[in-house]
């Protein structure tokens, strides 16, 4: 009995629920029943403690679009401006508090999320049709971000040690930047806004959070927990809204950092707009931008297909492929291709498509009608190459049948563009080098996978791949805070790693002080 | 009771056959000893065994082998020699051939044949030597409905093949009846996870129902053929589905009075006492005839359970100290024997202490030796089986059947067990004195 004890540096991931136990499943279903009685939730625009109207955005259940999950206020340019003004005011207090005090507030917020974790998971099931295991993991990740960044911020506050020469004292410290605009997506409706917001707050910035219009309910729950835990009203504003609110935040000269996670189109536009530095704006904006991917899994001829098939299916189809880390392509060595395709086809055709509130469901509906139409469009383009799909799917709700296509030409849009849905494309390759050439030719570099039992191949692919996160002999989704710092390169992101030891550096300014310690030729130290 | 246990233990031990002097077996033994001494080397060898069926040429085999060995810091002389061979194409071919032969030989030690038909000669021989068998069909993971169908078809074929062959076996009264009645000569163990691609830990019902629709015809055919069908237990991820499936199916009207069937209890599980309660309550209520067999094992998924639990931040579902498992094994043995005649006990262990404890407890409860079955694994418990048969005990050998690809996961698990320093077999091989082997846990 010899399994090595894990090494932890004071941080421990929040344990996911043990859903193989009936008791854990029943507790979630009970939380869902209780939540259903309180729907729709009311999510006002929240600026400096003032609650605005909670109308203008209706958040609905993707599996039952007539079910209203939350009614939220709709912030526009005016609300964004007012929120930034309040946050700029709030920065004087929050930014000057000791790091340890801010950390304590974030730990308290984590405790509040932990108390409510069942309800928060249930809310994601309804608001985003996120299946239970994924919804539970999302809440845990949110808790992890709060705990991890709180701890990192205290550490960062010690500064860095520098070379010291006689007669001088050099110190390097990190100070907060100012107001951070956080623009978050719906697919991790709690974890991602929580990660970006808590990083900014931990480092001493104040935050205006503009969550995705599809998931204001979850964002509201996050903001409530942070305020209750002691984040001052001026230090955190919530502006639910559409693109106009986000664009106003990006343009605002009083904003110092923009933290964005979402599509490439919007991300690149943010990078462009934030680069403009109008007169009166005395800083260069920092943009943290996490964008899309076209994530490839390479399967070598010596791969263990018993392992590869379920892990690929999980990576590509769980949560209907709506994770930026999800597998979109499989590049398989020709020696293993026939068997892999046959087994993948069989595994895809038995996927359970259904409502997110059923534990049996693996593939829920996609988030909205536009998403459904987009994925079906790509699917139609590849229809001649369709090898397997799980059908029929329910009529009500934004369902798309999970599908496997094989042998598309390399330049097919299905092979090149991010689809963000339950569609995976298999391509045969002569060898691992050809697979790596294909990965190299894509504009994205977020996650990647490799199934191989050769240490030399693992080393070779790891050395050459451009992706931010390479997973070997396992699923390519499910990055854990502190264990798999997450983020992409190339057009997938700005290279910062959420949940990693460098992330907070995006939210601070380094300052170095050099003091002459000589007085009249005499060292005073 | 303790005195009787010691007496039984020593007499079984005395009946162990003399060590075979087969040179190839000695070579394998040497490889296992090397592996047991060095964790890095052990990992390298298992990774090699695991990849063997996926390698496409001798050269490919040799490259994988040296790739793994390259990661071992301290190389014993035979390994260093292998690394030197890998420098040339001819050397790699020779190395690949030798390594492949080694893996095949080890596989043959644990796996009785590629198909049930091919295994008939071996299992008849075992029967003649006084040991019954339970056949287990090894397979790749089931991820599609076609694979589940194929596994079910293989199970049917195994039942038919055995049923056709066993009437020609000689009479072995010890193996064919206990005081409750006859015991089937045909005995097949099946895995629920192989009967459905839909088994998922968070949704046990879906997989259970899908596996049940394939298990039912197997049970019905076993009933017609007078065979025993045993439902194996795997990791905790499929525990709930497996238990529910057993209770539901065996309570169905057409399956209530046969075939002979059974379940497995894993003593390394912290929750196993409550599980045994459930099984005993069910057995008393169902009045099933013939009574279900409960095979008590230690459990074969220890590393997997602990790693998975630690990765998720859960308390491991298994005892982390071997002693706790061993003590629990004895507690469960006593309670299981106490549940006779509602249940038929089968104690599956290679631990001499556990086996002697079961025999002594059974006698203490005033039961006949023939109402206790002892089980061992092919390749690991062969000597123990011979000793038990020598003493006129009923012993059954769990015999895996399948090709090398299908058998690999099983083979690696068995090798892990055989090279673990804490395993009873490891202690026995190191020559730990009988007093310690029989000491109370």
Query: How high is the mean pLDDT of chain A?
Result: 96
Q: How far is CA B437 from CA B20, B111, B209, B251, B285, in A?
A: 21, 27, 44, 41, 39
Q: Which of residues 6-45 of B touch A (CB under 8 A)?
A: 39
Domain ranges for chain A: 26-291+493-511, 295-472
Residues of A in contact with B205 (CB under 8 A): 360
Overall CATH class of domain A26-291+493-511: alpha beta
Confidence of residue B24 (pLDDT cuts 50, 70, 90): low
Q: What are A315-356's pLDDT values in tens digits?
A: 999 999 999 999 999 999 999 999 999 999 999 999 999 999
Mean predicted confidence (pLDDT) in A259-265? 95
Domains A26-291+493-511 and A295-472 share a fold: no
- Say what the alpha-carbon torsion angle B217, B218, B220, B226 is, to the nearest 10 degrees: 160
Indicate yes or no: CB of A350 within 8 angstroms of CB of B197. yes
Percent of chain A with pLDDT over 90: 95
Residue A328, helix vs strand vs coil: strand
Instruction: Specify whether the CB–CB gap between A389 and A403 falls below 8 A.
Output: yes
Considering the domain A295-472 in this protein, what is its CATH number?
A: 3.40.309.10
Outline where DSSP puts E strands in B378-427. 394-401
Buried b vs exposed e over A347-374: b needs ≥16 C-beta within 10 Å? Answer: bbbbbbbbbbbbbbbbbbbbbbeebbeb
Mean predicted confidence (pLDDT) in A48-56? 92
CA pair distance B284, B251, nearest whole angstrom: 12
| pLDDT at residue A5 is higher than 70 | no
Residues of A in contact with B420 (CB under 8 A): 1-2
Q: Is B205 on the interface with A (CB under 8 A)?
A: yes
Chain centre to alpha carbon of residue B91: 37
Q: Which residue's entry shows tokens 């929580």?
A: A194
Q: Cα distance from A457 to chain B (closest Cα, Å)?
A: 10
Q: What are B59-112's pLDDT values in tens digits?
A: 999 999 999 988 888 777 777 888 888 888 888 898 888 888 888 888 888 899
Instruction: Specify whether the CB–CB gap between A264 and A293 falls below 8 A.
Output: no
Which tokens hold the place of A117? 């974790």
Highest mean pLDDT among B31-35, B49-53, B116-120: B116-120
Q: Cα distance from B334 to chain A (closest Cα, Å)?
A: 25
pLDDT of residue B22: 59
Q: Which of residues 292-311 of B touch A (CB under 8 A)?
A: 302-303, 306-307, 310
Lowest average pLDDT, out of A287-291, A303-307, B246-250, B423-427, goes to: B423-427
Q: Is A5 a catalytic residue?
A: no
Buried b vs exposed e over B280-308: b needs ≥16 C-beta within 10 Å? Answer: bebbeeeebebbbbbbbbbbbbbebbbeb
Indicate yes or no: CB of A1 within 8 angstroms of CB of B320. yes
CA pair distance A124, A105, nearest whole angstrom: 25
| pLDDT at residue A8 is higher than 50 | no
What interface predicted TM-score (ipTM) does this complex get?
Answer: 0.94
Lowest average pLDDT, out of A44-48, A360-364, A494-498, B232-236, goes to: A494-498
Residues of B in contact with A132 (CB under 8 A): 202
Domains of chain B in sequence order: 38-108 (no CATH), 112-437 (3.20.20.220)
Q: Is A290 a catalytic residue?
A: yes
Cβ–Cβ pairs < 8 A, chains A and B: 110
Indicate yes or no: CB of B197 within 8 angstroms of CB of A132. no
């Amino acid at each position: 009995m010899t399994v090595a004890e894990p090494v932890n540096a004071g941080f421990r991931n929040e344990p996911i629920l043990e859903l193989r136990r009936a008791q854990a499943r029943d507790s979630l279903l009970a939380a869902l029943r209780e939540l259903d009685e309180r729907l729709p939730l009311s999510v006002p625009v929240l600026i400096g403690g003032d609650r605005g109207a909670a109308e203008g955005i209706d958040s609905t259940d993707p599996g039952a679009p007539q079910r209203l999950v939350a009614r939220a206020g709709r912030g526009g340019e005016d609300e964004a401006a007012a929120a930034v003004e309040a946050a700029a005011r709030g920065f004087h207090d929050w930014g000057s508090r000791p790091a340890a005090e801010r950390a304590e507030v974030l730990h308290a917020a984590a405790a509040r999320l932990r108390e409510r974790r069942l309800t928060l998971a249930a809310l994601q099931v309804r608001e985003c049709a996120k299946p239970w295991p994924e919804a539970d993991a999302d809440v845990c990740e949110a808790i992890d971000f709060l705990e991890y960044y709180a701890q990192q911020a205290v550490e960062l506050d010690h500064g860095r040690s520098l070379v010291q020469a006689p007669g001088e004292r050099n110190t390097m410290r990190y100070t907060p930047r100012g107001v951070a605009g956080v623009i978050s997506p719906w697919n991790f409706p709690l974890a991602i806004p929580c990660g970006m917001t808590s990083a900014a707050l931990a480092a001493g910035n104040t935050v205006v959070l503009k969550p995705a219009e599809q998931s204001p309910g979850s964002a509201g729950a996050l903001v409530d927990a942070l305020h209750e835990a002691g984040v001052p009203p001026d230090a955190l504003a919530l502006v639910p809204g559409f693109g106009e609110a986000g664009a106003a935040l990006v343009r605002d000269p009083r904003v110092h950092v923009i933290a964005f996670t979402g599509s490439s189109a919007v991300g690149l536009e943010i990078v462009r707009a934030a680069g403009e530095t109008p007169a009166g704006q005395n800083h260069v904006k920092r943009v943290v931008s996490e964008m899309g991917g076209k994530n490839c899994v390479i399967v070598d001829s010596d791969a263990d297909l018993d392992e590869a098939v379920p892990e690929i299916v999980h990576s590509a189809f769980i949560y209907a492929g709506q994770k930026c880390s999800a597998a979109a392509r499989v590049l398989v060595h020709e020696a293993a291709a026939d068997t892999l395709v046959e087994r993948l086809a069989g595994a895809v055709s038995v996927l359970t498509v259904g409502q997110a509130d059923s534990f049996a469901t693996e593939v829920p509906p996609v988030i909205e009608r536009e998403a459904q139409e987009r994925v079906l469009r790509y699917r139609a383009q590849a229809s001649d190459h369709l090898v397997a799909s799980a059908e029929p799917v329910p009529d009500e709700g934004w369902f798309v049948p999970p599908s496997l296509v094989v042998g598309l030409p390399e330049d097919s849009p299905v092979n090149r563009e991010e689809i963000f849905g339950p569609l995976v494309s298999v391509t045969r390759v002569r060898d691992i080098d050809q697979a790596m050439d294909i990965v190299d030719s894509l504009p994205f570099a977020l996650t990647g996978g490799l199934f191989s039992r050769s240490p030399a191949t693992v080393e070779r692919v790891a050395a050459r791949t451009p992706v931010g996160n390479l997973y070997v002999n396992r699923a390519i989704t499910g990055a854990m805070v502190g264990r798999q710092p997450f983020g992409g390169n190339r057009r997938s992101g700005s290279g910062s790693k959420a949940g990693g030891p460098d992330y907070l550096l995006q939210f601070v300014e380094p300052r170095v002080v050099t003091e002459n310690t000589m007085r009249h030729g005499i060292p005073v130290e | 009771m303790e005195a009787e246990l010691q007496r039984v233990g020593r007499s079984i031990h005395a009946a162990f056959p003399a060590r075979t002097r087969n040179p190839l077996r000695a070579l394998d033994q040497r490889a296992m000893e090397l592996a047991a001494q060095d964790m890095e080397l052990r990992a390298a060898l298992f990774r090699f065994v695991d990849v063997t069926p996926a390698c496409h040429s001798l050269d490919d085999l040799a490259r994988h082998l040296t790739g793994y060995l390259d990661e071992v810091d301290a190389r014993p002389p035979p390994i260093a020699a292998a690394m030197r061979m890998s420098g040339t194409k001819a050397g790699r071919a020779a190395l690949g051939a030798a390594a492949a032969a080694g893996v095949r030989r080890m596989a043959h030690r644990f796996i009785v044949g590629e198909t049930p038909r091919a295994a008939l000669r071996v299992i008849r021989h075992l029967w003649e030597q006084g040991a019954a068998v339970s056949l287990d069909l090894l397979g790749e993971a089931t991820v599609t409905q076609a694979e589940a169908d194929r596994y079910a078809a293989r199970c049917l074929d195994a039942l038919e093949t055995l049923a056709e062959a066993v009437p020609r076996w000689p009479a072995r009264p010890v193996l064919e009846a206990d005081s409750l009645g006859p015991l089937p000569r045909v005995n097949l163990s099946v895995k629920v996870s192989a009967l459905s691609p839909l088994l998922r830990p968070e949704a046990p019902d879906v997989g259970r129902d899908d596996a049940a629709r394939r298990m039912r015809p197997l049970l019905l055919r076993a009933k017609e053929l007078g065979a025993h069908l045993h439902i194996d237990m795997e990791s905790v991820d499929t525990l709930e589905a497996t238990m529910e499936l057993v209770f539901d199916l065996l309570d169905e009207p057409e399956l209530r009075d046969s075939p002979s069937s059974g379940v497995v209890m894993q003593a390394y599980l912290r929750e196993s006492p409550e599980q045994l309660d459930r099984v005993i309550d069910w057995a008393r209520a169902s009045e099933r005839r013939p009574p279900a067999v409960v095979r008590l094992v230690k459990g074969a998924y220890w590393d997997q359970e602990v790693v998975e639990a630690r990765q998720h931040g859960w308390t491991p579902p298994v005892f982390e100290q071997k002693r706790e498992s061993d003590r629990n094994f004895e507690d469960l043995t006593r309670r299981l024997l106490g549940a006779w005649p509602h249940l038929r006990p089968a104690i599956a262990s290679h631990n001499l202490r556990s086996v002697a404890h079961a025999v002594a407890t059974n006698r203490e409860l005033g039961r006949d030796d023939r109402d206790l079955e002892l089980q061992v694994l092919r390749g690991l418990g062969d000597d123990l089986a011979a000793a038990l048969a020598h003493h006129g005990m009923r012993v059954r050998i769990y015999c895996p059947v399948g090709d090398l690809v299908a058998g690999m996961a099983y083979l690696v698990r068995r090798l892990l067990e055989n090279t673990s320093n804490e395993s009873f077999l490891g202690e026995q091989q190191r020559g730990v004195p009988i007093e310690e082997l029989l000491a109370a846990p």
